[in-house]
Structure 1
């Protein structure tokens, strides 16, 4: 989850333009202030979509050979001879430098990894050396957001209220091109919240988080396209992950992300965003923290610190097109009663360090 300073403004809305749901969930709420259109993309074969090569936008690439390893009792296929197969989240930076000489490792050299037990032996932080992402932040129904958060969590954090009855969610598509876990794609859908035990003053609280580049959230959905990412995320970080096809590709002017329905293999959600001009190359450090409940029922928190190397943002609704279908993730998103898109972030180049969770 990531966001930037958001101005206070009215929440003018209008009905959905791409309503195809026929499920038992509540019908779509008539809130919409972003450009939505149906995008005609050819559905891909699910097994090909799960290939990590899609992280580079090349779904026709030859699949890498795999080997199977044990992680906390799970038999997990990983890239044979890949970083995780060889080093289990602790590769020497000299190896990274040799394999990816174009990557600036100066920041990682200042960070120290520690061996941790997160349900299996690992190292913290986990390094993400070369990545891209796009994030769109929308208003959403505040009552619905509270319904989705466990009572234990609500005792510590609350959804940020930007105006009466409206909270915020962040939809982020990540392409991890090169990291300790090899490469994979991920979609994050998160509620933006207060800090633990912190007061909420509406937009002022959000502006405070934005000014300090220190954001808090509760993760609702986090699909990934490799089993390695799923098992590590569920067992080690208590995150709601499942495996499905995710394609993150680029054209000259757009980033296009397609998320497949894990059950049907059909395209479920399509996010198309504009490549923004006037990218800033000023390094920006951003911390995103999350709260959740571990497998013992205890409150935990984790965080990731990102070093943004190229980034830009926009508040124009024309920069983002979201297409929803009758798939499971689309149907869930519709129950959030999304409204105005407040902020879009285009970050074609960033690095990140993900720290192991601990007690809240």
Structure 2
């Protein structure tokens, strides 16, 4: 009865929003249906990829729906059924996406205080110079993926790889050369309930639902996240479109260490195939505007400093793997 009431109220709200959108001359939002995901009634795009295939669409379907997408890389990857608090398939595929990343220095003691003691037994913030660590602020636009489409903003501490020494700049150079980056995720707002529930239940990541606006101009990419409580703009990341793009496909792995729902050390990772990409250390290429919302207050507490690197990746594909016990990784090395 409770689920039916929630669904009815959601439907009424969607109908109201649809009427307002038509009145304003904007296209109506896509129709939704509700699915049960780990006991949560989650709205999804009716007839969308997730509604139909639950993270396991045949590549033939993707080829028919998005004939401009190169699927050659995905054909070499194998999905397997997993239980991650709900039944799913790993890896989750992201077919057409874009991102920007800004890496800043931050207060080292503050970063250390934000990582649980159990996690710090294996990983610590990389010290780039005395008193300063690194954080990465990444904004993603997943235009077409197994979860339909959504936007996401990740704030992470750059750490050493579990089981390896923390040698500060030497470790950072090693990760850069190998394309194997490690971090501890601090914040991860998303703009769909499907992405939120999957992230919290399946990956134990700090996700919450918030409006995230993605815009492009002829010269810049702009992500704006609004405060969930007030609806007012909270944080804006505006970055330049770099001109000298590499078109050589490059594989990069981004991994995270955290605690699972049983309090055990675990890790997860995504492998990305970057199809066009460029980087810069010019501070003029990134403009971070902090507002009065909770995320901005949190970022202020990190005492950000110098921009170390900006990455502009207008085209990439990715495969996100289900988390595993950290012991499995350490035992294999």
**Residue in 2 that maps onto 1:288:** 254
1:182 Cα offset (Å)? 0.2
In the superposition, relative to structure 1, how do residues 251 and 61 fare at CA in structure 2: closer, same or farther (>3 Å)? farther
- Matching of residue 354 in structure 1 with residue 320 in structure 2: yes
Which ranges of structure 1 fall in alignment gaps of 5 or more residues?
1-46, 52-58
**Which runs of structure 2 are paired with 1:31-70 in the superposition (5 Å)?**
60-70=26-36
Q: Alignment partner for residue 79 of structure 2, among 105, 109, 113?
A: 113
1:60 offset after TM fit, Å? 4.7
Provide the residue aligned with 2:228 in structure 1: 262
The list of structure 1 runs, each at least 4 consecutive aligned residues, that deviate by more than 4 angstroms after superposition, is none
Residues 248/60 of structure 1: CA separation in 2 closer, same or farther (3 Å cut): farther
RCO comparison, higher one (Cα < 8 Å, 6+) = 1
Unpaired runs of 5+ residues, structure 2, are 1-12, 18-24, 327-333
TM-score, with structure 1 as normaliser = 0.83
Among 163, 178, 182, the residue aligned to 1:197? 163
Q: 2:186 aligns with which of 220, 224, 227?
A: 220
Pairwise CA distance, 1:325: 1.2
Could you say what secondary structure the match of 1:106 adopts?
coil
Instruction: Summarize the alignment of residues 195-344 of structure 1 with structure 2, pairs less than 5 Å apart.
Output: 195-344=161-310
In structure 2, distance between residues paired with 1:183 and 1:154: 34
1:95 equivalent in alignment to 2:32: no
**For residues 96 and 202 of structure 1, what CA distance do their matches in structure 2 show?**
42
Instruction: Report the Cα distance in structure 1 between the residues aligned to 2:26 and 2:147, rounded to whole angstroms.
Output: 21
Alpha-carbon deviations, 1:151-206, whole Å to 9, x = none? Answer: 00000001000001100000000000000000000000000000102112211110
- State the Cα deviation string for residues 315-357 of structure 1 (Å, max 9, x = none): 0000000000111000000000000001000000000000000
| Structure 1 counterpart SS, 2:258 | strand
Q: Deviations over 1:110-168 (max 9, x none)?
A: 00000000000000000000000000000000000010000000000010000011000
SS of the residue corresponding to residue 73 of structure 2 reads: helix
> What's the secondary structure of 1:252's corresponding residue?
coil
- Which of the two has greater helix per residue? 2
Deviations 1:44-70 (A, max 9, x none): xxx99xx9xxxxxxx954210000000
What is the CA–CA distance in structure 2 between the aligned matches of 1:208 and 1:148, rounded to whole Å?
Answer: 24
Structure 1 residues 61 and 332 mapped into 2: Cα distance closer, same or farther (>3 Å)?
farther
The number of residues matched between the two structures is 305
What CA distance in whole angstroms lies between the structure 2 residues aligned with 1:296 and 1:153? 14
SS of 1:318's partner is helix
Identify the residue that residue 159 of structure 1 maps to in structure 2. Answer: 125
Residue of structure 2 equivalent to 1:76:
42
After TM superposition, list the pairs within 5 Å mapping 1:115-134 onto structure 2.
Answer: 115-134=81-100
After superposition, the C-alpha distances for 1:254-302 in whole angstroms (9 at most, x for unaligned) are 0011000000000000110000001100001000000011111111100
Cα shift at 1:92: 0.2
